[in-house]
């Protein structure tokens, strides 16, 4: 490894120059005017993988933007790692809030500023460079390596799932290595091992067949807004617990190891509340802030609408009211089962003199990796070696559906080796990426492949 | 009276022809393109009052549409009756649902079809004709008569209150006679003696200072939609009673006479429910449908909005949610007091970790006339004489703010001698007015003035 580390350190400046070129490409997946930029970015990725020393590189066209696939299978009998990442970026607006131009990368105080710097060009690029460094030094890789780099992550990966489903043999692997999440804090090696799932529902209540005059009819007619409010109000008790019968049945209790890990992470509650303008954090009684965000399920109204919503007054009893209600799920809750429990409960508590329509908008499974499995241990050790500190394990409150798909379809272990920071303005103006984390990421990646070979 | 009745019957056909001319004028108060039509309609009213034999007629210009005022004060020592009505009408759209042109009056099956036929040109016109008949027959009137006919009723009478306030001496009277409500049913003489008031509020809840990702933050943040739902849900108990402390303190209990009147009115509950597409009428426990609509206060959400309300899904915890909540009030509730009780209660039940803004949008007092006062008895007897049936007394669930203003500012008794029917499509296509009620209205009006003279 020593030679590889020296090689990386001697070349990291030119890697940063290459990253600059990558960041100059305006690969905004959601904008039609950037369609050719998407092809340019995919070609850039393919070229760099070839330059790293991998010959078999294919650009797959899809109904949307291309998928870059590559493989090096020269280590028979050894594990295979699939590196997933994305070359597309979010739009740059609001442009006037950028201190430097979003597609003209600038380095300041050891950080590179540009759209996509941390999400995900910079993070993804570390793995191309680690592979290159190993191949240049050793002429071979310790494990088999595949790359799967897509261009539609920021628009919900509409074509990736189909590609995954149709190519399970091609993509077969033992570990899926992903750098698209965050470090716990600067300089602290971190692996995200759990994600929440989701069940996103819509509830529509219909009372009278048209909006009615609230004077002429008020006192005699079921009001769908009041009734919807009653329904929503009955979904949680005063301790913030969800009241849907059976909702918590499958919730996995944290292991001893998880609890110990959690104790090590001090979370500044006051700063958290201040940063979003609330007086204090609230939620399910008996759980800490991090537990509530990471390992406990939630229920939130994402939106509500009904009746008159303009300025001033209109004296109506509305005909309809509807709400979007989503639940974040944790292992081992099943979105399909939760959807059924939710529907059954709402039907039970809704009065029989109104019509209630309940629709599932979408669902996604939660994810958790076992901390004591060998691949996770290797990953943790790799990052610890690179960063010179013990690796911390965290969960994430959001959902990354493709991670679950990888785990389910490929029967592989996802390794979320995030290198970003929550403070790096992803999706916002002045996005940046810490170049020390860029360098430590390349080293972590190299350690990981090395460690995996010895499993 | 016999001579007068004969005179009315001999002339009613020409009165109907005049009404047709009146209905041809497109006096839609809300549309700027009908501004000159408003002047034409005001002039029409002024001319017809002059033609009836009243010389002192003035058209008062306002910031909006003109007010027609007239007076005949030739009965010193006798009571004065102020006749209030309006010459403006609602827009005619949707035009394609009209079977005949809205401004080309057509008579079918004893009903005249045109916009404004029942609301309020036809109803108001009866009083001009009754005055004319009495003056033509007797050369004098039994009481003093004033006319106050406005052109902004359909847009909320924005200039009438100021006119009333600035001219209390001019408008001084004992009774205000208004035909702008409905008969209980066809051919049944009816006086509306109670109206509900209103207190219209807006409640806005703010949680975080911006919309947040429901994955990253869900479980730790107060959700304004959920909290607003909780608040709304706590405003009524399971029996449909409003839970605001003190809310019912001033509610006037119905008198024995009212209860007896109510017993006489059979209300078809099933047809009511069917007509608005609900399974059954609902509301405060222990009260009949008519009591709930007429003499009990209510609370209804008129609208609610917060967060994502488009198609599909957006996984946010909204920053804000707001609801319009109005309460219909009954005698002797005071809108200002109710507003305070509402605000105090919401502040009490809202959690302290969100911001709650409570705004009063508008308020109006309820109204009730004592049934046993002489003017009401005269009015009931007048209608009974004309219709040949006992007069029924009803209340109305809606509010007519100007009625309260008349009662308060002029210290006069409003007499709501409605001649329309709820089925006559007011504010809708194919508005019409029963010409038998037109004739009986003229006769009722004549009887009323005659009776008032003998008080």
ipTM of the complex: 0.89
Tell me the CB-side half-sphere exposure of residue A245, using CA atoms within 13 A.
6
Percentage of chain B exceeding pLDDT 70: 100
Structure token pair of residue B59: 């058209």
**pLDDT for A287-315, tens place per residue?**
999 999 999 999 999 999 999 999 888 88
* A261: pLDDT strictly greater than 90: no
Chain B residues within an 8 Å CB radius of A299 = 226
A251 touches chain B (CB under 8 A): no
- Among the partner residues A198, A223, A302, nearest to B301 by beta-carbon distance: A223
Q: Is the pLDDT of residue A400 over 90?
A: no
Q: Does A362 reach chain B within 8 Å, measured CB to CB?
A: yes
Judging contacts by C-beta atoms under 8 Å, the chain B residues touching residue A318 are 301-303
Interface test with A, best of B201, B210, B218 (most A CBs within 10 A): B218
* Same fold for the pair B2-195+366-453 and B197-251+297-363: no
Q: Which of A37, A88, A120, A174 is catalytic?
A: A88
Record the tokens describing residue A385, joined without a space. Answer: 């070696």
Catalytic: A119? no
Residue B362 backbone dihedrals phi, psi, to 5 degrees: -165, 165
Which chain B residues in 22-41 lie under 8 Å from chain A, judged by CB atoms? Answer: none
User: How many H helices and E strands in chain B?
Assistant: 14, 18
Q: Kindly tell me if the per-residue pLDDT of A206 is higher than 90.
A: yes
For residue A415, the cross-strand partners are: A177
Interface of A with B in 87-116 (CB under 8 A): none
Topology, domain B2-195+366-453: Aminopeptidase (3.40.630)
Smallest Cα distance from A252 to chain B, Å: 17
- Which residues of chain B lie closer than 8 angstroms to A308, CB-CB? 302-303, 324
Q: Cα separation of A399 and A397, whole Å?
A: 7
Whether residue B246 lies within 8 A of chain A, CB to CB, comes out as no
Q: How confident is the model at residue A204 (pLDDT cuts 50, 70, 90)?
A: very high
Told to judge if A186 belongs to the known catalytic residues of this protein, a careful annotator would answer no
Helix (H/G/I), strand (E/B), else coil: B246:
coil
- Are B303 and A308 in contact (CB < 8 Å)? yes
Domain ranges of chain B: 2-195+366-453, 197-251+297-363
Q: What is the mean predicted confidence (pLDDT) over B157-182?
A: 96
For residues B134 and B130, what is the distance between their CA atoms, to the nearest angstrom?
6
Count of Cβ atoms closer than 10 Å to residue A450 Cβ? 19
Q: Mean pLDDT in chain B?
A: 96
Structure tokens that stand for A13 in this block: 């400046």
Sign of CA dihedral A449, A453, A454, A455: positive
Burial string for B122-154 (b: 16+ CB within 10 Å, else e) reads bbbbbbbbbbbbbbebeeebbbbbbbbbbbbbb
pLDDT the model gives residue B427: 87
- C-alpha to C-alpha distance for A318 and B235, rounded to whole angstroms: 18
- Alpha-carbon distance values, A335 to A196, A330, B22, B47, B217 (Å): 11, 10, 66, 74, 20
The distance of A221 to chain B (nearest Cα, Å) reads: 5
Which of B52, B45, B51 has the alpha carbon at shortest distance from B23? B45
A232 and A391 Cβ atoms separated by less than 8 Å: no
pLDDT digits (tens, 9 = 90+) for B348-378: 999 999 999 999 999 999 999 999 999 999 9
Angle between helices B224-233 and A224-233 (to 10 degrees): 110
For the domain bounded by A197-248+298-363, which CATH number is listed? 3.30.70.360
Q: What is the pLDDT of residue B180?
A: 95
B316 touches chain A (CB under 8 A): yes
Task: Point out the least confidently predicted range of B7-16, B208-217, B235-244.
Answer: B208-217
The answer to whether the CB atoms of B233 and A230 lie below 8 A apart is yes
Contacts of B329 (CB under 8 A, 6+ apart): B196, B197, B198, B199, B297, B335, B338, B365, B366
Instruction: Name the region of B430 (left: φ>0; alpha: ψ -120 to 50; beta: rest).
Output: left
Q: How far apart are CA A170 and CA A168, in angstroms?
A: 6
A-B Cβ pairs (cutoff 8 Å, strict): 269
Partner-chain residue, chosen from A214, A228, A323, that has the shortest CB–CB distance to B328: A214
Q: What is the pLDDT of residue B83?
A: 98
Strand-by-strand arrangement of the B106-108 sheet: B106-108, B111-113, B432-434
φ, ψ of residue B326 to 5 degrees: the values are -120, 150
pLDDT digits (tens, 9 = 90+) for B379-414: 999 999 999 999 999 999 998 889 999 999 999 999
pLDDT category at B263 given cuts 50, 70, 90 is confident
What does the CA dihedral B19, B20, B25, B31 come to, rounded to 10 degrees?
90
State the CB neighbour count (10 A cutoff) for residue A33: 8
Sign of CA dihedral B72, B78, B84, B87: negative
Q: What is the pLDDT of residues B86-130, one digit of tens each?
A: 999 999 988 999 999 999 999 999 999 999 999 999 999 999 999
CATH class of B197-251+297-363: alpha beta
Which of A148, A144, A145 has its CA nearest to residue A166?
A: A148
- Give the pLDDT of residue A209: 93
Neighbours of A16 (CB within 10 A): 18
CA-CA distance, A176 to A54, in Å (whole number)?
A: 18
CB contact under 8 A, B276 and A210: yes
Mean per-residue pLDDT for A162-188? 97
Best of B240, B302, B396 to mutate (most A CBs within 10 Å, chain A): B302
Among residues B153, B180, B405, B431, the one annotated as catalytic is B153
In the DSSP assignment, the letter for residue B95 is G
Work out the angle between the directed axes of helices A2-24 and A35-52 (0-180°, nearest 10): 160
Q: Write down the pLDDT at residue A324.
A: 97
CA gap B202, B209 in Å, rounded? 20
């Amino acid at each position: 490894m020593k030679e590889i580390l020296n090689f990386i350190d001697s070349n990291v400046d030119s890697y940063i120059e290459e990253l600059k070129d990558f960041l100059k490409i305006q690969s905004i997946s959601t904008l039609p005017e950037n369609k050719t930029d998407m092809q340019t970015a995919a070609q850039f990725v393919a070229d760099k993988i070839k330059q790293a020393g991998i010959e078999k590189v294919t650009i797959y066209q899809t109904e949307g933007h291309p998928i870059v696939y590559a493989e090096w299978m020269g280590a028979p009998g050894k594990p295979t790692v699939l590196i997933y990442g994305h070359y597309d970026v979010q739009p740059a607006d609001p442009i006037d809030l950028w201190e430097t131009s979003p597609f003209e990368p600038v380095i300041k105080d050891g950080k590179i500023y540009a759209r996509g710097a941390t999400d995900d060009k910079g993070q993804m690029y570390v793995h191309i460079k680690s592979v290159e460094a190993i191949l240049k030094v050793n002429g071979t890789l310790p494990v088999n390596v595949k790359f799967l780099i897509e261009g539609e992550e920021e628009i919900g990966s509409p074509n990736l799932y189909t590609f995954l489903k149709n190519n399970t043999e091609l993509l077969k692997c033992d570990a899926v290595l992903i750098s698209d999440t965050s470090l716990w804090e600067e300089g602290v090696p971190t692996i995200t091992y759990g994600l929440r799932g989701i069940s996103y529902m819509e509830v529509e209540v219909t009372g009278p067949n048209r909006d009615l005059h609230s004077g002429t009819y008020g006192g005699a007619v079921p009001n769908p807004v009041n009734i919807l409010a009653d329904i929503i109000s009955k979904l949680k008790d005063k301790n913030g617990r969800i009241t849907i019968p059976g909702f918590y049945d499958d919730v996995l209790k944290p292991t001893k190891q998880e609890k110990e890990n959690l104790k090590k992470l001090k979370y500044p509650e006051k700063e958290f509340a201040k940063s979003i303008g609330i007086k204090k954090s609230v939620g399910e009684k008996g759980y800490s802030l991090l537990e509530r965000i990471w390992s406990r399920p939630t229920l939130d109204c994402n939106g509500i609408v009904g009746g008159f919503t303009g300025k001033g007054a209109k004296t109506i009893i509305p005909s309809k009211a509807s709400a979007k209600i989503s639940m974040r799920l944790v292992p081992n809750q099943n979105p399909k089962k939760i959807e059924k429990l939710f529907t059954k409960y709402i039907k039970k508590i809704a009065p029989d003199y109104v019509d209630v329509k309940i629709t599932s908008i979408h669902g996604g499974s939660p994810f958790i990796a076992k901390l004591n499995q060998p691949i996770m241990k290797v990953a943790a050790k790799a990052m610890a070696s690179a960063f010179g500190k013990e690796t911390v394990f965290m969960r994430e409150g959001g959902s990354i559906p493709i991670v679950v798909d990888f785990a389910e379809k490929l029967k592989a272990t996802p390794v979320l080796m995030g290198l970003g920071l929550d403070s790096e303005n992803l999706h916002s103006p002045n996005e940046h990426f810490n170049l020390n984390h860029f360098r430590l990421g390349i080293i972590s990646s190299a350690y990981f492949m090395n460690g995996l070979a010895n499993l």
